[in-house]
Structures are given as C-alpha cells and as structure tokens.
Amino acid sequence: MLRSLRAKMIALIALPTLVIYVVVIGTMMIHLREDVRAEVEEEMTRLAANYAARFDGAFREAAAIAITTARMMETAPDLSEERVYAQLRSNVLQNHAVYGAAMAFEPGTFGDGDDLASPYAYRGPNGIETMNIGRDAYDWYADEQWQWWHAPKKLGSGVWTDPYFDEGAGNVLMVTFSEPFTRDGRFRGVTTVDIMLPTFKESVGDEILGEHHFVILTASGRYVFSPRSEHIMRTVFDIVREAGRNELVPIAERLLSGEPGVARLEEWETPEPQWIFFAPIDSPGWTFAARVLEREALAGVRARMTVASIVLAATLVAIISCIWFVSGRITRPLAKLRAKVQEIAGGNLSAHVDGIETSDEIGELAESFNTMTADLRAHVDTIASERASREKIERDLDLARDIQRGLLPKTEPDLPGFDLAGWNQAADKTGGDYFDWLELGDGRIILTLADVTGHGIGPALIVAVCRAYMRASASDHQADLAEAMSRVNDLLHADMPEGRFVTAAVGILDAQRNTMTLVSAGQAPMLFYEARTGTVESWDADVLPLGIMPDVEFEDAREIAFEPGDVLVLTTDGFFEWANDAGELYGTDRLEEFVRTHHQLTSDELIATLHQSVLAHADGTEQADDLTALVIRRT
C-alpha cells in the first residue's frame, strides 16, 4: 500500500515535472537555435566582408603597379623603347597575380611615325615575353570595344574592365586595370596590368580562401571568376534563367546590391541546402560571393544544442532522483520549483528559490536549482563580458592607431625652394616610428625622424612622449639644436624603462640660407645626393641613441649646404632590413643605389617608388618593422 501510494505520488509529481522540463528544454532549444543561427549569419557576413576586403587589397596592389608607372611616365623624361620594356617586365614580376603589363601611347607620341604603339610584357611559356600590340594585333585605338584604352581616356581616371578575351595579344581570358597618364596637361596614353582569369584562383584566390568555392561578379552580374570556366563573361542572371530557377533572381540582385549579407539557397548543383555569403569589393566595384553547405555552417549550432540537451537532461534526472526520496513532503516545494522553472523558461535567469528551509532532499534540490541558475547566469554574463572585452580591445587599438596617425604632420611646410615629404606605415595597428616638422619662424623649420625600439602599443606611447618632448624643447630652444636634444635625451632617460631607447635624426633647415644643421642620435645611414658631383654620401650617427644615458653632448652638429637638385634621404631600418624568403635584406647598398638612380623624382614620388622597390624585393614576405621616411630636396 505504502509502495503503491508512493508510486502514485511519484507519478503525480514526476510526470508534471517531466512535462515542464520538456517545455523548458524545447523553448530553450528554439531560442538557442535562433540565437546561434543569428550569430552564424553575423559571423559569415563578417567573414564575407573580410574576404572581400582581402580581394580588394589584392586588386589594389595590382592596380598600384599601373598607377605608379603612370605617375612615373608623367614626371620622367621620355623613355627609350628598351627602358619601356624593362619597366613592363618589372611590373609583371612585382606581383605574381599580374599576367601582363602594357603601355599604350597616343599615335605619334612614341617611336617613329603615327602608327599604334603599345609595348606589352606578359608571362609566356618560356618566361616573360614581349610584343607590340599594333594594328597587326587589333586596332584598339579605333575600336570602342577595347575598354582598357577608351574607358580611362574618356573618364580621366583608372578603371577595371569587364572580362574579355585578348585575342591577338595576350590571347587569354582576362580583366585589365588601366591608368591614364598625361604630359603638359595633354593625354598621352595609359598603363595597364592584366589578371588572367583561368588561373585567378591559383594566383590570388588560394591565398585568401584556400579550397573554398567562390565567385566574383561585376556590377552588372557578369562573372569575373567562377570555378566553372564556362560561366566567365556570362551573367549570373543568364545562368539562373537557363537553369529554370527564376526564383533565384532576387537573390542574384541582392548579391549585386553593394551590401554584405547571407542568403539561403535550395538545391543548386547539389541536393543539400546551401548558404551564400557575399560582400562588395570596393575598388573595382565588383562583388565577392562564396557558398557553404548548410550542415557545415550550422555544425556549431548542433554541437551547442547537444551540450545544452545533455546539461538539461542531467538536471532533470537529478530532480527526479530527488523526488523519489522526498515523496511525503513534495507538493509545496515543487510548486515553488515549478514556478521558478517557468520564470527561467520565460527568460528570467535571475530566478531564485526561497522559503525552502528543510535539510532533506527537497532542500538540497532547491539549493541545486539556485546554483544551476546562478551558474547559467554567470556563464551567460561571462560570454557577454568576453565578447565585449574583445570588441573593446579592437576599438581601443583602432582609436590608438587613429590618434597616432593624427600626430603626424597633415600638411607640407611652405618653404620656398624646398620640396619636403614624410611618410609612415606601422607594422602593427600602432608603431614605434614617427616623423615631424615644426616651423620656428624666419624660414626655419625643425625636422625629426625617430625610431623607438620595437613596435606596437608600448613604443607607440613612447613615440607620443618623444614627440611632445621634442616640440616643447624646440620651442624653448629655437636657436640651439644641441641644447634641445640634450634636454630631450635627459627627459627620455628619466622616463623610459630599461632596455628602451630612441634613435633620431634631428635638423634645423634654414630656407633663407639654404642650409641645414643636422644631428643623428643613433640614426643611420643618412643619405645625401649631391647634384653637382652626382654622388651619394652616406653618413653614420653622430652620438648614442636618446634615452640610454644622461648628460650626452650634442655639440658636433653637421652643417649641410643645399644646392639645386641636392636631396637628403632619411629612413628607419624597416626599409633596408626587410628580407625576402631567402633571407636577403634590401640593404643599405641597394638603398644608396636607389637614391642615386631616382634623385630626380619629387619627394613624394621618391618615397612611393622606394616603397614599391622594397615590396618587389620582399616578394610577398610580411612587413616585420615600421617604415618611416623623410626626404628634403632643394628644387
């Protein structure tokens, strides 16, 4: 009888509890699935934007080759045919994604006669091959279909073409970036780089997406790249309509909307549902899209639901076990427990059981319940806190980068007779290099190029302090460079931790006297091109770096007299210590030869061309140190 009554009581209590937990588990599973699905969509959208940005970077790097060459053609004297072909070979070798490079000239502006002239270098079966795309290839000057010539000429700016087959020249399926160049205000021609589409995945895509399937579409929906080569040069709308899937047209239109996103696709080339994530590629105005099977995208959802099910099932087993031992005093405590369970099912993770003071199984169950809700709440709070912390760190680093970039000069100083330029690119979000100039009046300006040991947040803070000390000391000691540097050295020595120091080249340029007083604290080499002799002098540092020891004498300042055409080039070691895959450094000898060869460029052009030269030497190795350059040229 007692056993039967107990069994009936267990049945009356356990069955409702079981129903309640099934409802709780089901509700939580529904919410969990929707929440995690939303997180997956958000993550895939972020990944699409990230992949699109990386493709954009690849296209920008390729386009930069044509842009730099066009600017060179605007400033350099007319090049011989041999020099033109040498430049084009160099352009092809700068970037493994580039298939070919060309210069096309207005008839009559290059070579003899009025015939078409378009020197072209491309990757042939025997290495880099060359040809002239003249009328015997095709008439790109008269025929409007050749966008690579007509579009930049009409727009006056660089453009990416639609995919086309370059019959008569490259003889491959390709896209081309063209940049116009002028001389004396008149259009003279275009410089181009080609990317071959059949090998696009191997040359660019594998570095970004590995084995994932992806496509790239123009703004009109035409395939730039597809794993199915027959799709290239056709539009996505043609493909879906030929497949009889007109319901996919709105998805295709979303892909071309210019906004990142995710779309679900049923039965396309496979019976399994798929997800497409996409984002715009900004510089050419194209769209990146990739697809993944839904079961792969939601694998994390299933894993989390399995864990949640096990946890909740274990809790249910524990409660039923407790009920078995407390059948005589079960009604009121379980009513309270049931109410709190419903609160949790409604989303109130702060629910807490009160009023159960017994020391038997019911009391233990209440305590376990409260512990479970507290742990669940703490777990949810921890997840939210960790996510917020990661986002805050990223925001703080972005803010630090913006602040540090804001400390660099925003405009060039107005010094008649001189052309000045400075440039900085950190290896991380923040760096340990900087350049600066501060006008002292009467045509004088104090110039600084400095390099703090290391790169990242710590050196970035020291950069800000060093800049502030230098500006304050220069303002207090406008006429005495040695006294100003001595003061900065003592302040840095007092502030910086052991093992940190700053190499710096500091000078006062007098534009009225065409002279400069220059002191180097550990910063070398300093390269000076003398136009009169056509030679480059390399100067070593004058004294120890700043901050190593106090009371350093800075009396032996270097006096420089600038003649027209003279150029002073100051760089940090990030330029000449950049190594390629073979471990070969760019080196100071190569840097000195570069200055000797390119001294005629403007200061801005000299820095940009030097950067391209170092990138070409590095051949894809990552930037390991900050890059900073300061160039002073007397015009």
| Mean pLDDT, residues 213-227 taken together | 84
pTM for the model: 0.43
User: In sequence order, which residues have a C-beta less than 8 Å from that of residue 7 and are 6 or more positions away?
Assistant: none
pLDDT for 105 beyond 90: yes
Tokens 């890059």 appear where? 627
| Mean pLDDT, residues 450-462 taken together | 84
Dihedral pair phi/psi, residue 169, rounded to 5°: -125, -95
pLDDT for 206 beyond 50: yes
Could you tell me if 181 and 70 are in contact, meaning their C-beta atoms sit under 8 angstroms apart?
yes
pLDDT for 407 beyond 50: yes
| Percent share of the chain, pLDDT over 90 | 40
How high is the pLDDT of residue 477?
47
| Mean pLDDT, residues 413-436 taken together | 92
CATH class entry, domain 1-325: alpha beta
The CA-to-CA distance between both ends of the chain, in Å, stands at 112
User: What is the band of 386 on the pLDDT scale with cuts at 50, 70, 90?
Assistant: low
Q: Provide the token pair at 481.
A: 């460079």
What is the CATH topology of the domain spanning 408-634?
Phosphatase 2c; domain 1 (3.60.40)
User: In sequence order, which residues have a C-beta less than 8 Å from that of residue 324 and are 6 or more positions away?
Assistant: 10
How high is the pLDDT of residue 398?
66
| Range with lowest mean pLDDT among 97-101, 111-115, 336-340 | 336-340
Q: Which helix (H) or strand (E) holds 596?
A: helix 588-598
Instruction: Please state, in angstroms and rounded to a whole number, the distance separating the CA atoms of residues 369 and 363.
Output: 10
Question: 551: left (phi > 0), else alpha (psi -120 to 50), else beta?
Answer: left
Instruction: Please state, in angstroms and rounded to a whole number, the distance separating the CA atoms of residues 387 and 372.
Output: 23
Buried b (16+ CB within 10 A) or exposed e, 542-581: bbebbbbeeebebeebeebebeeebbbbbbbbbbbebeee
Question: Per residue in 159-186, pLDDT tens?
Answer: 999 888 877 666 778 899 999 999 888 9
Q: Which helix (H) or strand (E) holds 539?
A: strand 535-539
Of 416, 412, 417, the C-alpha closest to 447 is 412
How high is the pLDDT of residue 498?
82
pLDDT for 428 beyond 90: no
Taking each helix axis from N to C end, the angle separating 2-75 and 331-345, rounded to the nearest 10 degrees, works out to: 20
pLDDT for 50 beyond 90: no
Of 374, 343, 369, the C-alpha closest to 354 is 369
How high is the pLDDT of residue 533?
96
User: What is the band of 2 on the pLDDT scale with cuts at 50, 70, 90?
Assistant: very low
How high is the pLDDT of residue 560?
97
Question: Per residue in 133-157, pLDDT tens?
Answer: 988 888 899 999 999 999 999 999 9
Return the number of other C-beta atoms located less than 10 Å from residue 139's C-beta: 13
Instruction: Please state, in angstroms and rounded to a whole number, the distance separating the CA atoms of residues 521 and 466.
Output: 13
How high is the pLDDT of residue 460?
84
User: What is the band of 436 on the pLDDT scale with cuts at 50, 70, 90?
Assistant: very high
How high is the pLDDT of residue 155?
94
Residue type at position 376: L
Q: Where do the domains of the chain lie?
A: 1-325, 408-634
Q: Provide the token pair at 476.
A: 């207090």
Q: What angle is formed at CA 163 by the lines to CA 161 and CA 164, rounded to 5 degrees?
A: 100
